[in-house]
Chain A
Amino acid sequence: MQQEIVELILQTAGEIAEEEEWEIKNFEADTVLYGENGVLDSMGLVSLVIAVEQAIEDQFGKAVGLADEKAMSQSKSPYRSADTLAAYAASEMQDA
Chain B
Amino acid sequence: MGQPVTLITGSRKGIGRHLVEHLCGEGHAVIGCSRGESGFQHPGYDHHVADVADEAEVRKIFSAVRKQHGRLDNLINNAGIASMNHSLLTPVSTVRKILETNVIGSFLFCREAAKLMKKNKYGRIVNFTTVAVPLKLDGEAAYVASKAAVEGLTNVLAREFADYGITVNAVGPVPIETDLIRAVPEQKIAELVKRQAIRRLGTLSDVVNVVDFYLRRESDFITGQCLYLGGV
Residues of A within 8 A of B (CB): 43, 47, 50, 53-54, 57, 63, 65
- The yes or no answer to B219 lying at the interface (CB within 8 A) is no
Contact of A50 among B55, B60, B63, B118 (CB under 8 A): B118
Interface size on B, residues (CB 8 A): 9
**How close is B123's CB to chain A, nearest CB, in angstroms?**
14
Residues of B within 8 A of A (CB): 55-56, 59-60, 63, 66, 115, 118, 163
Asked whether, in the complex, the Cβ of B60 is within 8 Å of the Cβ of A63, the reply is: yes
Known: A43-B163, A53-B115, A65-B55. 12 other contacts (CB 8 A): A47-B118, A50-B115, A50-B118, A54-B66, A54-B115, A57-B63, A57-B66, A63-B56, A63-B59, A63-B60, A63-B63, A65-B59
> For B55, what are the chain A residues with a Cβ–Cβ distance below 8 Å?
65
> For B118, what are the chain A residues with a Cβ–Cβ distance below 8 Å?
47, 50
**How close is B51's CB to chain A, nearest CB, in angstroms?**
16
- Residue pairs across A and B with Cβ atoms less than 8 A apart, 15 shown, are A43-B163, A47-B118, A50-B115, A50-B118, A53-B115, A54-B66, A54-B115, A57-B63, A57-B66, A63-B56, A63-B59, A63-B60, A63-B63, A65-B55, A65-B59
> For A43, what are the chain B residues with a Cβ–Cβ distance below 8 Å?
163
